[in-house]
Structures are given as structure tokens and as C-alpha cells.
Amino acid sequence: MTRYQLVFPKTNNNHKGTSSETEEDHEAISLNLFKSDSSSCSISSGNDGTASALWGSSVVLSKYIIMMNDDYYYHDNVDQERNDKHNNYKNKNKNNKNMDIDIIDNIQFQGKTIMELGCGGSAVPSLLSSCYLGAKRVIATDFHSLTLDHVQYHVTMNPCTNTNNNNNDDLRPPPSPPPIIETYKIDWEDTDNQNILIDTYDLNQSDIILAADVIYDTTLVQPLVNTISRMLSRCRDSRVIIAMKNGRTGISEFRTLMTKEYFTEIRSIDVFDNSSFLPPIPIILENDIIARGRYYGNFTIHIYQWKESKITFD
Ligand SMILES: C[S@@+](CC[C@H](N)C(=O)[O-])C[C@H]1O[C@@H](n2cnc3c(N)ncnc32)[C@H](O)[C@@H]1O
């Protein structure tokens, strides 16, 4: 097992290699992760080999949710100079031709319940939601137990927090002692088990569902859409933010099924590989041809809300 850091710098012009020590780096968000060594069976991946890796979609999704929540992230900072730098950063990035920063949405994570589907072992969006974005409850799910062990290991490597004080009468407390990030084995094709978990742990009232690179097989599209709607069945104002690598099998089927009955697609945002949007690839991944292939690419982020949601979207 090899440890590395995934760093989300405030400005991100450096596309390759670890970021250099600049003034901007002092305000970077950084996560500690581990990389599986193929020789080590104790941290080998789940059944299909996709679970333990870090995929570019999850990095793109993570960067997007950081940008959505930057006011929260920098909120504690009353230092005027730092605030000015932050505003400069925002203005500077308005000219980023590779991504229209004006369509960074205002979906705040502070105090919210976040669920990630198909989180994989890295679960980067879940880690960020817990460590940096002020989520009240973070629920990471996948269908491999070993993958969920990896998530819990990553929790120990990072400054995760749980602001869930269980004052909400409507929410039964998670198992005692409350885990910082709750992990559940949720298989999109196993409705019975999903219903048991929903009844036991109130899993169907998330404010935000996150998913990265979970569409690559048409047979899984309908079960995934059903799982999303089931997991949001008690929260009609929730959002689904999903990042996918362009060209994956099943994407058009997913978009059609999502909007057929339940949801409205409120955003579709292209993020191209030639942009400076992806944070620098950690050097340890850059040197690994397979890891590099998983990291780079062209991606799209889609955002959905219930058709009957009361939220109006600007
Ligand atoms: C390409 S990986 C993406 C992992 C992670 N989201 C990321 O971007 O780094 C796809 C993930 O979907 C999960 N997955 C695939 N089929 C699933 C199913 N039927 N139910 C739940 N999770 C599933 C896999 O275990 C794997 O973690």
C-alpha cells in the first residue's frame, strides 16, 4: 500500500505532477489516500476491479462540489486579504474557457445529509463532504464489503467530522457509536436489502445524492435509477449530482430513464480534459499507466431534481 495526497489547489494551472509550493497551495484542500499495490491482496479491489481505484469522474465531481461550497469553506476566514484573494480567484476563473464557471450551482452541503452511490474505495466526494464541506451526515455506499472497508480506512487517514447531533426526531440515530462516515452495502439490484436498510437506518431522506463513474453497463441503468428514486423518496427537494466519463455505455439510457418519470435534468456541464479543471494528478498515479488512464478524460456533470420539487432553479 502506498500513501499519496490528492490536492485541490485554489488555482489549478498546473496540469501534471504534484503542485509546487506556491502561495496558493497554502489554501489547498487535500485528502490522504492510498493506492493498492497489486501484490497486496489485503487491499485488492472488489469483484470487478473498479472499486478501489481513483476515477477521474470522482475528482471532477469533487472539484465541482468544492466550488459550489467555497463560500462555506472560506466562511470562517475573516481575514480581508484572504477574502480578496478568494474573490480574485473567482474572477480569474470566470475566463476559464474550458468550463463555464458561471454555472457553478449554489447547492450547499452545510448541515445536509449526503449519500454517495457506488463510492468505490476512495470515496473522495464523501470524504470532502465530511472533512471540508460541513455535511451533517455522510453515507457512502457500494456493493463490495471490502470497498467499504477501504472507505473506513480512508476515514482514519483524513480529518473527517460528523456534525450529526441526532437532535432531529425524524432521524433515527445511526448505529452506536455513530460512525463519522456511515458505510452501507447497497447493491442497486437488491431491492429487498435496500428496503431493510432504509427502514433500519432512514436512508431514504438524503438531501443530495452524489455518484461518479457509475454508468458503464446498460443492464445497471434501470436498477440505478430505481435506487436513486428510492433513496430520495422522503426528501422531495433533494438533488442528484452525477459525474460521468463521456462515451461510457448506458449514459443516454440513464438520462432518458431519469427524466422519464421522476426527475428533471437541471444542468449538464461539460468538463474537458484539456482544461485546468482537474487538479494535478498525484505523481504516483501519473507514473502508473492504468491509473493515469482512469484519471484523465472528458467528463460531464448532470444535476437532477424531482419533477415536483418546490425548489425553483435559477
Ligand atoms: C468505475 S467505479 C467508480 C468508483 C468511484 N465512484 C470513483 O469514481 O472513484 C464504479 C463503482 O460502482 C460500483 N458498482 C457497480 N455495480 C454496482 C451495483 N450493482 N450496486 C452498487 N454499486 C455498484 C462498483 O463497486 C464501483 O465502486
Task: Report the amino acid identity of residue 225.
Answer: V
Provide the pLDDT for residue 261. Answer: 85
For residue 314, tell me if it sits in a domain.
no
Which amino acid residue places its CA nearest to atom 3 of ligand 1?
213
CA 1 to each of CA 43, 238, 286, 293, 295: distance values in angstroms, whole numbers, following the listed order:
7, 37, 16, 20, 19
- Who contacts 32 (Cβ-Cβ below 8 Å, separation ≥6)? 3, 4, 5, 154, 157, 158
For residue 31, tell me if it sits in a domain.
yes
Ligand 1, residues 147, 214, 220: which to mutate, most atoms within 8 A of Cβ? Answer: 214
CB atoms within 10 A of CB 296: 17
Provide the pLDDT for residue 35. Answer: 84
For residue 166, tell me if it sits in a domain.
yes
List all residues whose CB is within 6 A of at least one atom of ligand 1: 46, 50-51, 54-55, 57-58, 118-120, 122, 142-144, 147, 186-189, 212-214, 220
Provide the pLDDT for residue 4. Answer: 92
DSSP-assigned states of every residue in 23-70: TGGGG-EEEEEEE--TT-GGG---TTS-SSS--HHHHHHHHHHHHHTH
Which amino acid residue places its CA nearest to atom 25 of ligand 1?
51
**How would you label 19-29 residue by residue, b for 16+ Cβ within 10 Å and e otherwise?**
beeeebbebbb
Provide the pLDDT for residue 71. Answer: 65
**How many structural domains are present in the chain?**
1
* Ranges under pLDDT 50 in the chain: 12-26, 39-49, 74-83, 85-86, 89, 95-102, 167, 170, 175, 314
How are beta strands 113-117 and 137-142 bridged, if at all? parallel
The tens digit of pLDDT for each residue in 139-178 reads 999 998 899 999 999 999 998 887 665 545 545 555 455 5
Residue-range definition of the domain harbouring residue 192: 2-306
For residue 32, tell me if it sits in a domain.
yes
Ligand 1 centre distance from Cα of residue 282 (Å): 22
DSSP-assigned states of every residue in 76-117: T---HHHHHHHHHHHHHHTT-TTS-GGG------TT-EEEEE
Alpha carbons 127 and 53: distance in angstroms, whole number:
15
Let me know the angle formed at the C-alpha of 146 by 153 and 299, rounded to the nearest 5 degrees: 80
For residue 77, tell me if it sits in a domain.
yes
> What CATH number is given to the structural domain containing 126?
3.40.50.150
Ligand 1 centre distance from Cα of residue 157 (Å): 22
For residue 106, tell me if it sits in a domain.
yes
Provide the pLDDT for residue 165. Answer: 53
The tens digit of pLDDT for each residue in 87-143 reads 554 555 554 444 444 456 678 899 999 999 999 999 999 999 999 999 999 999 999
Ligand 1 centre distance from Cα of residue 118 (Å): 4
For residue 313, tell me if it sits in a domain.
no
Strands, DSSP E only, in 112-221? 113-117, 137-142, 181-185, 208-212
For residue 312, tell me if it sits in a domain.
no
Provide the pLDDT for residue 51. Answer: 52
Ligand 1 centre distance from Cα of residue 141 (Å): 9
